[in-house]
Chains A and B, each alone.
Chain A
Amino acid sequence: MDGNTQTLSKPKRKFGVNFNVALILILIALIAIIGAVNPTFLTYNYMMSVVVKNIMEIGLMALPMTLIVITAGIDLSVGSTMIFSAIAGGMAAASMGEGAGILVTLLVGAACGLANGLIIVKLKINALITTLATFFLFRGIAKGITHGDSVYSYEFTTYVGNKDIAGIPLVLIVFIAAAVIFTLLLSKTGFGRSLYALGLNENATRYSGINADRTLIGIYVISGVVCAIAAYFYLGRFTSVKFDVANSMNLKVVTVIVLGGTSILGGVGDMKGTIIAIFIIAVLNSGLTVMDIPIDVQTIIQGTVLIISLIVYSILGERAKRRRIIEVGKGGEPRLAGQAPA
């Protein structure tokens, strides 16, 4: 607060680290409380087969969605993309064999992402609108080609959906690998920096020589591909899927990301927050079940957690902004803080 420019970057970093620490503390507290009430929760078997497995598809999709939200975009079509690619792959596998199923799933996911990206970037249509329309479109095509019937798992999906390697579910291994890749991608590469830049000021970023179009289309394609990967596990886990099973998945993914501290307005956020938030939601969902708390209360608790985190982020964000204004102003007078624009 002394107006020294050297401290300019300090509070920002501290704030980020603090928040992830707070999230981890919340996670540990939740596990401790739920474990104390019902020790079965803490058994390795329950942790792996229920707590972790139930969240992994959402977790996978939350990783690329974090990139998208950081660029001030959003992808509401993730659930539909996953179901569409699962269904298209399942049908292809049934008629043309395993290989076709695997390939079609991946291609459909990538194509969905590419369609989103092209419409958003080339036609300059708001991401919310585009992905809202494709939410209906992809789900609708899935419904149309199946006539509303179920599509069944095939050998490959059954294998990946249920495989444990050394007692660790395959899906968790894939998730950890993806989480590491995405964390490094966002925090250690120029590509990651350009995403923040796009979220903060798209025009300025374009003038700075970054190929904004290619970057943006790229992250929507990545999102589509990750949805397709999640589709393998989802189809394998449930043995059959219908077009409407993932209707609210998009909002669940958004919940995770917001809880993880990524601003929906873009430019702020990190992958570690999202990853911790995934496990908080997982522990809440499954933990409340072992405590015999009805599923409806779980929804309320999840909503309350989201609201509290929003309020905390809002207050902290407001404070950080004021602090920055004081420092930039170099006056350091507390008056300035009061005059900070809302």
Chain B
Amino acid sequence: MAQESLKQTAGGTGGFKKILTTEFYLLIFLVAILVVMAIAAPDFYSVNTIMTVLNYFSYLLIAAIGMNIIIITSNIDVAAGSIMSVVAIVIAFVGKTGAPLPVFMLVGMAAGLILSWVNGLFITKLKIPAIVATLATTQLFVGALPLVVEGSIYDLPASFTWLAFKAKLFGVLPASVVFAAVITVGFMLFMRYSRFSKKLYAVGNNIHAATLTGINVNKVMVLAFVIAGPLYGIAGTIIATGGQRVTTTMANGFEMTLIAAVVLGGTSIAGGSGKIIGTVLGAFILSLITPAMNYIGLSSDWSDAVMGGIILLAVIVASISTLTKNKKVIITPETGQPGAIAAAAEVK
């Protein structure tokens, strides 16, 4: 029932309109990009390019899912990039000793969890708005790193870069993509069936109402950060293992791209709405922009502008559709038949 009503508010009034969700438009847009690429630049569909795109997509998506969960609770995390930078350095330390992937990835996840947890506690215990709280911790994380490491950790062993260069399913598919697929499916199921995910939406939708229904709001918010932390850890691991040198600024600023992917995916920054599938599509579109522009002959110099334009376009379309919907509701009482449209929608 709750799921049903959520769908209604997000997707329209029923019938055919039910299909016209943000996710649907995004999918159309994505298919359009892929078709254009097939016609204009068939070279784009080489195994190498696709795998490069998928690799970027995988870590962008994994981290963006974490960000999505935080944004659903109407918080935001601008420390995500710096957390991933910390994770990269931490696992480089562990990986330098020749430790295998499972060991340093778990260490990375733990590091992500702890740092993200600190953010969550900071926001809930001190009641500081998430954007400023994470802004402050970003400076601590970014500042602390170069104290521990001078510039970068290099000459990392083959066991460290194994994930990026050797770990391939059927010899082609990067393992990072498999991680992303497993995590995505896991979280889609989690968001659909777990009771906890309903609390995430409830807190984001109306924090006072959620408190009154007996939800421990602070706990839910902290848990959202605790869930996001290990996801940042995995994403940071994929980023770090991409080469033999890990620098202290590897993922700084990446949070902006994460937020962009989530917003493009139709999640409202005000909280209380948003689906994982939207984030998947948003992240995929963002990871296509630069390579697609390269292949189509447009200079990739414009990729940032195109990315900004796409985000803007997406939120404008979403806003206009809600604005027109609101107008309809206002018109109803004036026609003298209050609730006519609502009733009609129910019949459909």
Contacts and interface: CB of A to CB of B under 8 A. Distances in A.
Contacts of A300: 139-140, 143-144, 147
B76 interface: yes
Contact of A299 (B143, B253, B303, B311): B143
B319 A143 contact: no
A173 to B, nearest CB: 31
Given A124-B323, A314-B128, A298 B138 contact: no
A300 B280 CA distance: 35
B319 A124 contact: yes
A290 to B, nearest CB: 18
B304 A251 contact: no
A255 B135 contact: yes
Nearest to B139: A303
Interface string A91-133: 0000000000000000000000000000100011110111011
Nearest to B263: A129
Given A251-B135, A254-B135, A314-B126, A140 B76 contact: no
A72 B8 CA distance: 30
Interface string A135-150: 1111111011011100
A137 B305 contact: yes
Interface in B2-34: none
A132 B311 CA distance: 9
Main secondary structure of the interface of B (DSSP, over half): helix
A24 interface: no
B78 interface: yes
A340 to B, nearest CB: 12
A22 to B, nearest CB: 18
Interface in A199-218: none
A143 B270 CA distance: 31
Contacts of B323: 123-124
Main secondary structure of the interface of A (DSSP, over half): helix
Contacts of B338: none
B139 A306 contact: yes
Nearest to A123: B319
A133 B308 contact: yes
A260 to B, nearest CB: 12
Contacts of A166: none
A97 B62 CA distance: 49
Contact of A119 (B253, B305, B307, B316): B316
Nearest to B309: A137
Contacts of A85: none
B146 interface: yes
A147 B299 CA distance: 8
A321 B138 CA distance: 29
B131 A136 contact: no
B299 A123 contact: no
Given A126-B269, A133-B311, A144 B139 contact: no
Interface of A: 74, 119, 123-126, 128-130, 132-141, 143-144, 146-148, 247-248, 251, 254-255, 258, 264-265, 294-304, 306-307, 310-311, 314, 318, 342
Interface of B: 76, 78, 122, 126-129, 131-133, 135-140, 142-147, 253, 256, 259-260, 263, 268-270, 299, 301-309, 311-312, 315-316, 319-320, 323
10 contacts: A132-B259, A132-B311, A134-B308, A135-B308, A139-B308, A264-B132, A294-B146, A296-B144, A298-B143, A303-B136
Given A136-B304, A144-B302, A296-B144, 16 more contacts: A124-B319, A128-B269, A130-B315, A132-B256, A136-B307, A136-B311, A137-B309, A137-B312, A140-B304, A254-B131, A254-B135, A264-B129, A299-B140, A299-B143, A307-B136, A318-B127
